[in-house]
């Protein structure tokens, strides 16, 4: 075989190995995220089974945690610091050595922690103004509960942002166990703390906020232990003046576009939640519960991939070249498109049963039944854009890894403006606060903007990296579409037949015990899902994606055994 032929084979082997190693990392992070998502569900179920959906405390939780922390603050800090830090850290490490890279890391982490202190001071000193700005439609009871909870959660948010800075450094070193096990400790500890204070100690009014702060302290302590064991330090304590003279401008150039995009996204979210707060209280909570439910697969297939992809792609580009970088992108995009199919099918077919299984409490009333029905509508609407929401978590790291910061920023701004105008149109439509059209529009605004943004980013990434050249992209779209239709058809027919046998509808539960009803719901979800899973595997196999299934199995087995997926010398 010629040298060029051997080189091509070796390149293909390294590309395949890189994809498998990414999925080994995904498997490692996924184990932790199983517990993170279990903890998140535990928190939501503890709240939904303790307070009625129309209780001001539930609105305060949905606003403070789901909106302020998880929509505004946490992702903003992460999406400014992480994409700028990891590629530059890898570049400095290669050019100037590990010691210089660690000095750079300490400086940026200290800046991030000081930023966290400023955010804490703002929330502690101006909670009333913040709630009025973001949730102007809240009534007085909802407003008062939100102000109280903001002050209770602010200390926890401060240490959460400290832990977030540690997470960024761990990711740069492709070390995922400590930061994500710390997240699992936080979520599970928070859920158990709510149950302890509200159910056993009968202190429900302040249970959510106080236990959140305590759980965040536990998360930060786990990260500190990991930092000391991995890097032999915990507090950065950098020379910020010297750091700025050496790396400040390079970092600012990368952060500038990210900051523009974040500001536009947060303006979009302000409009989104001001309109959502005008919904009646049950509808507001229904949309947030629906987002919580759909965030489970987004976390596993999207956010989880984003956390792993950027450090791997940056390392691959610097060590193995553009061709392997392209192969890695293609393999990951294809696999995630396929994995999103059963999630979309489950959301479309079993949305109402999923909402009832998770959020109906034993002494349900009309408010809880309405929450499930409205939440099911929101779940179905959100799922229509699910695949493109997930793929954003590949396209963004792919562009960041080649230091292309402005394309994601500009199209992020365009998508935010599109969503703002869409929401203004809804607000001007004269729909009532309990309108199903208004609820569906509020839920669909974000997925619709992701369709616009990520459709363009896919084309940009294709142009810059030659990803899916020629007719390959169109072949992917057609085959994935056919697999989705086949999977959805089997799922819907099976669910329809089972519902005729065991009954359907949330109101047909009178006279049945709570646990028996939950068991029936589990059957109505599980049996069609099993049939759907078999149909999906068969369709994927017949559709020509056998190698993706085999690769996932190998990665899972390798990750479970704690060894690399590829043992050959060519492994990346």
pLDDT at 5: 46
Greatest Cα pair distance in the chain: 78
DSSP state, residue 563: S
CA distance 499 to 183: 38
DSSP state, residue 466: -
The answer to whether position 248 is within a domain reads: yes
The answer to whether position 571 is within a domain reads: no
**370-425 pLDDT, tens digit each:** 878 888 888 899 888 888 888 887 888 778 777 777 888 888 888 888 888 888 88
Confidence of residue 342 (pLDDT cuts 50, 70, 90): very high
pLDDT at 560: 46
Give the number of C-alpha atoms closer than 13 A to the C-alpha of residue 517, restricted to the C-beta side: 22
Q: Are 16 and 550 in contact (CB under 8 A)?
A: no
CA distance 168 to 160: 13
The answer to whether position 395 is within a domain reads: yes
- Quick one: which of 387, 364, 405, 374 has its CA closest to 260? 405
**For the chain, what is the domain count?**
1
Tokens of 68: 């302020």
The answer to whether position 456 is within a domain reads: yes
The answer to whether position 8 is within a domain reads: no
Cα–Cα distance list, 378 to 40, 381, 445, 528 (Å): 19, 5, 11, 21
Least confident of 66-70, 230-234, 427-431, 459-463: 427-431
DSSP state string for 417-447: HHHHHHHHHHHHTT--TT-HHHHHHHHHHHH
Confidence of residue 505 (pLDDT cuts 50, 70, 90): low
Confidence of residue 17 (pLDDT cuts 50, 70, 90): low
The answer to whether position 568 is within a domain reads: no
CA distance 401 to 89: 12
The answer to whether position 49 is within a domain reads: yes
- Domain limits at 295? 17-561
The answer to whether position 441 is within a domain reads: yes
């Amino acid at each position: 075989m010629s040298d060029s032929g051997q080189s091509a084979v070796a390149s293909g082997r390294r590309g395949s190995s890189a994809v498998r190693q990414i999925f080994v990392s995904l498997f490692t992070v996924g184990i932790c995220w199983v517990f993170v998502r279990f903890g998140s569900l535990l928190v939501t179920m503890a709240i939904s089974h303790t307070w009625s959906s129309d209780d001001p405390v539930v609105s305060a939780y949905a606003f403070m945690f789901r909106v302020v922390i998880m929509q505004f603050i946490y992702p903003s800090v992460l999406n400014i610091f992480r994409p700028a830090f990891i590629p530059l850290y890898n570049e400095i490490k290669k050019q100037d050595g590990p010691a210089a890279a660690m000095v750079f890391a300490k400086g940026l982490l200290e800046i991030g922690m000081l930023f966290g202190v400023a955010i804490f001071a703002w929330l502690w000193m101006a909670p009333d103004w913040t709630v009025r700005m973001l949730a102007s439609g809240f009534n007085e009871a909802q407003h008062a509960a939100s102000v109280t909870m903001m002050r209770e959660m602010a200390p926890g948010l401060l240490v959460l942002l400290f832990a977030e800075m540690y997470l960024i450094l761990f990711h740069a070193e492709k070390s995922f166990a400590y930061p994500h096990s710390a997240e699992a400790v936080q979520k599970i500890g928070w859920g158990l703390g709510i149950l302890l204070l509200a159910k056993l100690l009968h202190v429900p009014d302040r249970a959510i906020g106080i236990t959140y702060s305590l759980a965040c302290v536990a998360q930060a302590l786990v990260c500190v232990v990991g930092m000391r064991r991995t890097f032999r330090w915990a507090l950065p304590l950098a020379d910020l003046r010297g750091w700025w003279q050496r790396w400040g401008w390079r970092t600012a150039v990368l952060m500038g576009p990210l900051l523009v995009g974040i500001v536009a996204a947060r303006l979009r979210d302000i409009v989104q939640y001001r309109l959502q707060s005008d919904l009646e209280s049950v509808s507001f909570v229904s949309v947030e519960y629906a987002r919580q439910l759909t965030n489970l697969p987004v976390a596993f297939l999207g956010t989880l991939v984003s956390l792993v992809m950027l450090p791997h792609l940056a390392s691959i580009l610097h060590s193995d070249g553009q061709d392997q970088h392209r192969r890695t992108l293609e393999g990951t995009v294809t696999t995630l498109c396929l994995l999103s199919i059963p999630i979309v099918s489950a959301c479309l077919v079993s949305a109402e049963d999923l909402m009832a299984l998770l959020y109906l409490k034993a002494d349900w009333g009309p408010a809880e039944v309405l929450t499930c029905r409205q939440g099911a509508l929101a779940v179905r609407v959100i799922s229509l854009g699910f695949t493109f929401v997930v793929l954003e978590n590949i396209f963004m790291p792919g562009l960041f890894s080649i230091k292309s910061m402005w394309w994601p920023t500009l199209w992020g701004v365009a998508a935010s403006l599109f969503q703002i105008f869409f929401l203004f149109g809804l607000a001007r439509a004269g729909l009532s606060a309990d309108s199903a059209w208004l609820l569906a529009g509020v839920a669909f605004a974000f997925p619709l903007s992701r369709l616009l943004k990520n459709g363009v980013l896919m084309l940009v990434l294709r142009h810059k990296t030659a990803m899916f050249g020629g007719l390959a992209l169109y072949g992917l779209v057609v085959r994935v579409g056919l697999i989705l239709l086949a999977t959805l058809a089997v799922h819907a027919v099976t669910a329809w037949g089972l519902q005729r046998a065991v009954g359907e509808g949330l109101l047909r539960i009178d006279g049945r015990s709570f646990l028996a009803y939950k068991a029936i719901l589990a059957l109505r979800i599980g049996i069609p899902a099993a049939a759907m899973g078999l149909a999906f595997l068969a369709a994927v196999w017949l559709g020509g994606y056998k190698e993706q299934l085999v690769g996932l199995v190998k990665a899972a087995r390798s990750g479970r055994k704690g060894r690399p997926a590829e043992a050959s010398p060519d492994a990346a």
